[in-house]
Structure 1
């Protein structure tokens, strides 16, 4: 496959960004993450959304017309105009308990363990985010596994399903193999 436009998606903390970076590095192509376009750059981060049209405009300016890139993250509910550009979609599925463990670690790393601990200034925000992420598996209000599966079923390109509990080098090798031409 000469063009390599790969979208790696899954629930929050399933490992999409980590895998996206690894695949982009292995293929020596640019990596982009939906969070960088979805959210305005703020301090603290992830509090002010961009309008969907603005996200898509920025993505089009930065990488969409190029023949080779990896995009990680979710486009659910706003990114359908990008579907025609995908050569492969990788769906990373990770058990809820592991995802929530990763989220707690990530929140502590990002904001500080004391800030997200009970009584800390970011505790309520961190817990609300983790509760939102847990809703993915049980039919929460916005982003859910059911909605993700329905979206995947509409895609015109191949979908590679991977277990996010597996080691990143193994997952990377599977994605690279899926886009490399047969010898």
Structure 2
């Protein structure tokens, strides 16, 4: 196992979960989807946040590990992840590609073709698409322009490019 801490950030449908799983296999490091920490999947309603103290406790447990891959769209509550990460991958996947993936994922979940903890409804998908557009066009660029972590940042528009930029290597430590 390579001792490296990687965080992947990008909009919904940018390919964070997909590339985190591939990197996890390539580097033999456990990856964590921060949605699993942020949202209360035990709730009967979609979009209910988990208690803040529980989220922070789980985040702290991940950070204390020697190696990890985390992925999520979140900014402020994951500041400790940004600080602890060796590399921060920013996925700048084109917005039309993200929107297509969001719709496909929704349709697969509704059809039962893909297991999901989420209880999405059509209205929620429309809200997600609007939020995601704002995130990609305004929030993420603002974060990048004003970030203290540009020295750790790797920006890609195709998530598979990261496989070439982060080779399995002992240069990260063992």
Q: TM-score, normalised by structure 2?
A: 0.81
- Name the residue aligned to 2:143: 148
Native 8 Å contact 2:144 2:150 kept in 1:
no
Find 2:152's aligned residue among 155, 158, 166.
158
1:1-183 to 2 correspondence within 5 Å?
Answer: 3-42=3-42, 46-61=46-61, 63-112=62-111, 122-139=121-138, 144-150=139-145, 153-155=147-149, 157-164=151-158, 168=160, 170-176=161-167, 180-181=170-171
**Distance in 1 separating the partners of 2:4 and 2:66:** 6
Native 8 Å contact 1:42 1:48 kept in 2:
no
Q: TM-score, normalised by structure 1?
A: 0.77
Structure 1 ranges of 4+ moved more than 6 A: none
Count of residues in correspondence between the two structures: 165
- Where in structure 2 are there 5+ consecutive unaligned residues? 113-119
- Where in structure 1 are there 5+ consecutive unaligned residues? 114-120
Native 8 Å contact 2:7 2:81 kept in 1:
no
Q: CA RMSD in A?
A: 2.7
Shift of 1:23: 0.4
Shift of 1:145: 2.2
